[in-house]
Amino acid sequence: MLGALVALGLAGRIGAEEAPVEASADAPATVVARAVLRGAPSGGVFFLRQGPEAPVVAIGAAHSFDRTALAEAGEVRFLSQDGHREVARSSRYYARPGVPYRAFGGTLRGDFLTSALAEPPQGVRALTPADRPVQAGAAVHVLGAARRGSNVERIDARVAVAEAERIFVDLDGYRGLDGFGGAPVLDAAGGVVGMLQSAAPFGRGMRLGIGPIGGVVEALAEPYEGGLGRLFATLAPAPSAATDPTARRRAATGSPFGSGNPDSAAAVASRAAVAASMAPRELRLSIETPDDGAVVGNAAFAFVAGHASALRGQRSRIDIVIVIDTSVSTSGPAGLDVDGDGELGVLDPDAVPGFDDVTTDPGDSILAAEISAARELLRGLDPRVSRVALVTFAGEADLRLPPGPRGFRIKRAATTEEPLTSDHARLHAALDRLGERRPRGQTHMAAGVDLATLELLGLPGSLSLADPDSEKLVLFLTDGRPTLPSPSEPNNVRSVLASAQRARRAGIRIHTFAIGPEALSGPISTVEMAAITDGLFTPVREPGRLARFVETVSFASVEDVVVRNETRDLRVVHARTHADGSWNALVPLVPGSNQIVVRARSSEGDEATRELRVRYEPGGSTPPVPAEWIGRHNDLLRDHLVALRTERDEATRRELVIEIERERAAAEQRAAAQRKELEIEAVPGQ
């Protein structure tokens, strides 16, 4: 089980956090980087902090890392010198990458990569840049990541040449430098003056080429996204498995997550997910009822239904995990009569959150609104083409122990309430049980995302049986900002983004809903989570209206389905398109032959058309509606009888779409501002 979890980088992130490894003054400063995709050491790095308020950044030589391979891997693990312990990981460049010194226009000074860390490093110490440039004749020492044993190797030497673009250090005699690539070069005061880049024979000894640290310092002064960094894939210099479908399929023939056993559960699931996630989308449209040439006689309309989807490759099924926030804040009032009992729940000023019902009517809480939205989603899904799982998240920190570099120890984080199933009765029962529980705990978003990823891939530790040919999606509902696993908000945001990155590598899209003023005041986690995975972020200002907003999401990537009777150019008024791409309509008919045309448009702009002929003979018989469509047929009849789809209804729908777009734009602006805030407010020692 552990091997499968490590293959996806999920170990230790869903339940309790492992004990932190504190760094001592004599702890090593250099480590080995291992790309997840390749599984082989890529080069040495050291950790640098420019000042007590600045974040710790991993520094390595640009020529030691293939940036296209980094894009394919999506993540790099930094291992201890013996290669047995992970000390940190990264999925983003902190600042602009440099150019290898061997490349055209490259210099020793510009040969570097800077990586933003998902969490502070464990068991290694961070170095700081030297106060001033080194001079010729100065004493320096080079720290290397020794591959054998656990002690740091050190080479003492003096500077022979000191220039702005390069530094040379001469050694007497020859010696092996295995483990010294990308090693830091320190002055007598312990400040970093440069990074070891090359070695060549020189006279009776060796000349070491050092890249001055000034190039790194200049890059760190202009970090990407206020310090959050940019994904490796976004800066790939050549088509890669992260940016090109052909390369992605080629990469999928091996083990994309570095598993030593290509037939392991993790490797097989990952290969299938990676290959399918980059296949081109194809819009498919079908009419399932009635048959072409059918005769209708007992009503002046025909019930027409089918499916439309723009899924990857030949996929025709959808797996969805609904992730629901159950933290204590969701016990607050939603602002609307969610349960429809005629009583509007309001805040009870005497209630104790986590122990009492915070609202006067618990059926009108934010959690109740989330449950109602999940039920509304289920109502529109066709069990023949979709499965759904239910995951909840919150989190309780063990405050008896002080937080370490990886944050608090977490006693409770995420739970699978119901694994992937097509049995909606089981899902409704799970929602019933959830509604009987009292919200409690903090907001551990990363745990919710990670557990949803496990369930969709069916890896050991999950309760679901994976479908390698399904489209995999997450519907993520939250009313807050991440408050776990760390006491630092920047670290919590980074944990969420790392979880989203793992989901992206597995071909999973996440649609996020930020519910209420707290979630919308700091929406960077929900905005970025959706952006990283090519999902949709939806702001919900009023929690009680969440169910209406959930209806706007299309899991099948279908923008619209339009049904018309072309015989008299009659557009259908009563029609519905559901989240999984199933659609149905009541089509008005005229006596005689009627040509019905169905047109679908995908979210990427592709279009598909299907036609059939239906003959209307007043007073004749009508073929029965197939059993699987009876519920949808009755829903449309109710719409028709009470005239729900009026011009006023359409105007309301348009206003809702405009409201969503307005809130989405405002939230994205706040997320951009929050990126800068998080860097400014970074906690000392990170």
Q: Are 280 and 312 in contact (CB under 8 A)?
A: yes
Cβ atoms of 416 and 390 within 8 Å: the answer is yes
Residue-level pLDDT at 346: 87
Per-residue burial over 468-479, b if 16 or more Cβ lie within 10 Å, else e, is eebbbbbbbbbb
Read off φ and ψ for residue 84, nearest 5 degrees. -100, -15
Instruction: Output the six-digit token pair for 224.
Output: 């990407």
By DSSP bridging, strand 317-325 and strand 386-397 are parallel
Looking at CATH, the fold of the domain delimited by 315-551 is given as Rossmann fold (3.40.50)
Give mean pLDDT, residues 598-612: 89
Cis peptide before 290 (omega within 30 of 0): yes
Residue 574, Cβ neighbours under 10 Å: how many? 22
Please check the confidence at residue 321 and state whether its pLDDT lies above 50.
yes
CA-CA distance, 294 to 624, in Å (whole number)?
Answer: 11
- Give the residue-averaged pLDDT of 478-500: 89
Q: What is the DSSP letter of 55?
A: P
The 3-state DSSP class for residue 338 equals coil
Cα-based distances in Å from 150 to 77, 84, 141, 144, 153? 18, 11, 19, 11, 9
- Give the Cα separation of 357 and 625 in Å (integer): 46
Which range of 404-418, 502-516, 643-657 scores highest in mean pLDDT? It is 502-516
pLDDT tens profile 103-118: 877 899 999 999 998 7
Tokens at residue 361, please? 């009517």
Residue 592: exposed, middle, or buried by beta-carbon count in 10 A (0-12, 13-18, 19+)? exposed
**Euclidean distance between the first and final Cα of the chain, in Å?**
31
Q: Is 27 a residue whose pLDDT tops 90?
A: no
pLDDT at 14 over 50: no
Order of strands, edge to edge, in the sheet holding 30-35?
Answer: 86-90, 76-79, 30-35, 41-48, 57-60, 113-116, 92-93, 230-231
Question: Are the C-beta atoms of residues 362 and 345 closer than 8 Å to each other?
Answer: yes
> Mean pLDDT lowest for which of 52-56, 71-75, 165-169, 434-438?
71-75
pLDDT digits (tens, 9 = 90+) for 556-577: 788 889 999 998 877 675 678 8
Tokens describing residue 10: 């999920």
Model's pTM, two decimal places?
Answer: 0.57
pLDDT band at 652 (very low <50, low <70, confident <90, very high): low
Contact 76, 89 (CB under 8 A): yes
Distance between CA atoms of 672 and 658, rounded to whole angstroms?
21
For residue 686, the model assigns a pLDDT of 38
Q: What is the mean pLDDT of residues 596-619?
A: 90
What's the mean pLDDT when you consider all of the chain? 78
Bridge partners of residue 415, in order along the sequence = 392
Does 408 have pLDDT greater than 80? Answer: no
Which one is predicted more confidently, 568 or 127?
127
Residue 647 pLDDT > 60: no
Rounded to an integer, what distance in angstroms lies between the CA atom of residue 438 and that of residue 360?
13
Q: Rounded to 5 degrees, what angle do the CA atoms 634, 640, 642 make?
A: 105
pLDDT given at position 293: 92
Percentage of residues in the chain having pLDDT higher than 90? 28
* Fold (topology level) of 27-235: Thrombin, subunit H (2.40.10)
Q: Hey, how many other C-beta atoms are within 10 angstroms of the C-beta on 358? A: 26
pLDDT of 249 > 70? The answer is no
Q: What is the C-alpha to C-alpha distance for residues 370 and 418, in angstroms, rounded to an integer?
A: 16
Q: Looking at residue 3, what is its pLDDT?
A: 30
Domain ranges of the chain: 27-235, 245-277, 281-310+555-649, 315-551
Confidence tier at 168 by pLDDT (50, 70, 90): very high
* Spatial CA neighbour of 440 closest among 394, 475, 397: 394
Phi, psi of 365 (to 5 degrees): -80, 170
* Helical spans, DSSP H, in 172-225: 214-220
What mean pLDDT comes out for the span 26-52?
65
492 contacts 413 by C-beta, under 8 angstroms: no
H helix or E strand, kind and range, residue 435: helix 424-435
pLDDT of residue 36: 46
Radius of gyration of the chain (CA): 29
* Single-letter amino acid, residue 332: G
Q: Which residue has the tokens 């940019």?
A: 230
Q: Of the given ranges (191-195, 208-212, 565-569), which has the lowest mean pLDDT? A: 565-569
Q: 58 with 115: CB under 8 angstroms? A: yes
Assess whether pLDDT exceeds 80 at residue 138: yes
Burial degree of 605 (CB within 10 A; 0-12, 13-18, 19+): exposed
Rounded CA separation 92/55 (Å): 14
281-310+555-649 CATH pick, 3.30.1330.10, 2.60.40.1220, 2.70.98.10, 3.30.870.10: 2.60.40.1220
Which whole number is the average pLDDT over 324-342? 90
* 451 pLDDT higher than 50: yes
Using the Cα atoms of residue 641, residue 644, residue 645 and residue 647 in order, give the sign of their dihedral: positive
User: What are phi and psi for residue 424, nearest 5 degrees?
Assistant: -65, -25
* DSSP codes joined into one string, 564-580: EETTTTEEPSSEEE-TT
CA-CA distance, 273 to 465, in Å (whole number)? 14
Considering 260-274, 276-290, 487-501, the range whose residues carry the highest mean pLDDT is 487-501
Mean pLDDT within 329-353:
84
Name every residue whose Cβ is closer than 8 Å to that of residue 84 and which is 6 or more positions away in sequence.
none
Is residue 519 exposed (0-12), middle (13-18) or buried (19+ Cβ within 10 Å)?
Answer: buried
Rounded to an integer, the average pLDDT of 387-410 is: 75
Q: How far apart are alpha carbons 526 and 524 in whole angstroms?
A: 6
What pLDDT is recorded for position 41?
53
Rounded to 10°, the helix 424-435/366-379 angle is 170
Q: What is the pLDDT of residue 640?
A: 63
pLDDT of residue 243: 47
**pLDDT for the residue numbered 544:** 86
Tokens describing residue 250: 């080629």
In whole angstroms, give the CA distance from residue 14 to residue 312.
Answer: 29
Overall average pLDDT of the 120-132 stretch = 88
Average pLDDT over residues 373-399: 87
**CA 199 vs CA 46, 166, 196, 202, 422: distances in Å:** 19, 13, 8, 9, 62
Give the confidence band of 487 by pLDDT, cuts at 50, 70, 90: confident
Contact, 48 vs 30, CB < 8 A? no
457 or 408: which carries more pLDDT confidence?
A: 457
Question: So what's the pLDDT on residue 534?
Answer: 86
Residue 322, SS3 per DSSP: strand
pLDDT of 299 higher than 70? yes
Banded pLDDT at 596 (limits 50, 70, 90):
very high
pLDDT above 70 coverage of the chain, percent:
76
- Alpha carbon 366 to its chain centroid, in Å, reads 24
Query: How far, in Å, CA of 675 to CA of 493, rounded?
Result: 10
